[in-house]
Structures are given as C-alpha cells and as structure tokens.
Amino acid sequence: MELPSSSSDITREHEHYLRHILFLEQATSIVLKAIIKREKKKCGKDIGILLNEPRYTFKTHYKTEYLQLFQEDVNDDIDTWDTLQLCAVLLALFKSDLTGPEVKAIQCIYDQRKDIERFVECASLTYNTYKEKQHLLIEHLHGLMKLIDVKSDYNCTRMMVSFKTKSLQLSETQIGKLTQTNDFKTHLKIAKEVFVSENDMIVEDNDRRGEINGTYSCFVLFLFDLSVIIRIRT
C-alpha cells in the first residue's frame, strides 16, 4: 500500500519542477543561442533573411513556433526567443549542417520542453522523474557545450551547477501562486524570483564577472548521478 505524500514531499516536488523549468529555459538557451550564432556566422546571412527562407518547414513541422516567429513581421530578435523557438530554428534552418549528436541533443531539449506541459497543472515533478529528465538533459547538453565559445560554456555551466545544487526554500505563498495557475510563463517567473533572491550564481548572457584580461579561467563542474566531473578550462 502506497503511503500518502507528506507536505514536505509535495514541496520538494514543486522544487524539482522549478529547477527543471529553469534549466530548460535558462541554461539550455545559452547553448542554443551560441550554436545559432555559430551557424549564422558560417553561412554569412542575417537571421531575419534565414528565417524567411524555409517558411514551409516551420509551418509544417513547427506550427506554434512558426506563428510566434512570423506574425505581422518576422521576429529576428534571438534574445526574445524561448527554448522551443530556439530549437525549432536550429532544426528547421540548420539541421543539415549539424552533426547527428547535435541534432539528437537539440531534439531532446525540444521534446523535454514540450513534455513539461504535462506537469504544468500540478507544477511538480517526482524525484525519479526529475532525476531521469535531468540526467538525459545534462548528458546531451554536455556534448553541445564542447562545441560553443568559452564564455557561453562558462555561463551555462554556472547555471547548471546552481540550479542543481543550491538550496531552495519555497514559501506557502509561492506554492499557492504555482498551483493557482497552469501558465508556464507565470511558473517560470516565480522560479526566477526564487532563485534570483536565493542564488548568487545565476548569470545573464552579458555577465562579465569572472572575466580576467579578456580570458576566462574557471573550474567547470558537471554533475551526474554518481559522479562529479571537474574540467579545468584556462
């Protein structure tokens, strides 16, 4: 017979959910943007021009993202795109130029972001679900991070470590806000508020802390289920 969940278990499941959605929207976006900028540089075209070329692909395979990117005018401001839009652009525009592992990793991120909609109503993830999702996500993201610029790698890694390891205390008021709405953007806003107030390791894309004489020297931590791998990048 399964015992009912305690209030502390339920709170932890809300915390797992918040950590995961922050990972999906904050950490992965740094890597996805870096890859888009890399590919855009290789082809030598502005992103607005590139977006106008494969409209049929967007409309057919990424209808929601298509409607978001192509409204009255094309939205070519990459900093306003969410994870779904970033993945859709990469898969629609640059799939043939990416390696197999890169495509698989980007598809994994896209699928996980889509799948999180199943958990929006309860705004929670069990420990086993959270652990499974994070393990797969980190494994794929780790492969992508080897191929981007040092600064993006550095910023993403700090977020990854931060979201996974920092303590988090949710108040009853915050839990109430989470459970009173099924809106993902509202949940993400709450997650950012909690971690920004509690966490000094979150960095923005333009954060230059840790930069010394134009170069980065940092210890990069990758957390897996049974081990911690330390890479030193100088």
Q: What is the pLDDT of residues 176-208, one digit of tens each?
A: 889 999 999 999 999 988 887 654 444 444 444
Within a domain: 39? yes
In a domain, 77, yes or no: yes
User: Does some domain include residue 234?
Assistant: no
Q: How many domains is the chain partitioned into structurally?
A: 1
Contact between residue 129 and residue 158 where contact means Cβ atoms under 8 Å apart: no
Cα R_g (the chain), whole angstroms: 18
Dihedral class, residue 103 (left if φ above 0, else alpha if ψ from -120 to 50, else beta): alpha
82 domain-assigned: yes
* Within a domain: 230: no
User: What is the token pair recorded at 70?
Assistant: 């192509």
pLDDT in tens, 105-140: 999 999 999 999 999 999 999 999 999 999 999 989
CA atoms within 13 A on the CB side of 179: 15
What is the model's pLDDT at position 46? 79
Q: What is the pLDDT of residue 7?
A: 64
pLDDT tens digits in sequence order for the chain, 234 residues long: 444 455 677 788 999 999 999 999 999 999 999 999 898 888 888 777 777 766 666 677 777 787 777 776 777 888 888 999 899 889 988 888 899 999 999 999 999 999 999 999 999 999 999 999 999 999 898 888 887 888 888 888 888 888 877 777 788 888 888 999 999 999 999 998 888 765 444 444 444 444 433 333 333 344 433 333 343 233
**Strand stretches in the chain, DSSP E:** 211-212, 215-216, 218-223, 228-233
Domain housing 183: 7-203
Residue 224 lies in a domain: no
- 2 in a structural domain: no
Rounded CA-CA distance 77/37 in Å is 12
Identify whether 111 is part of a domain.
yes
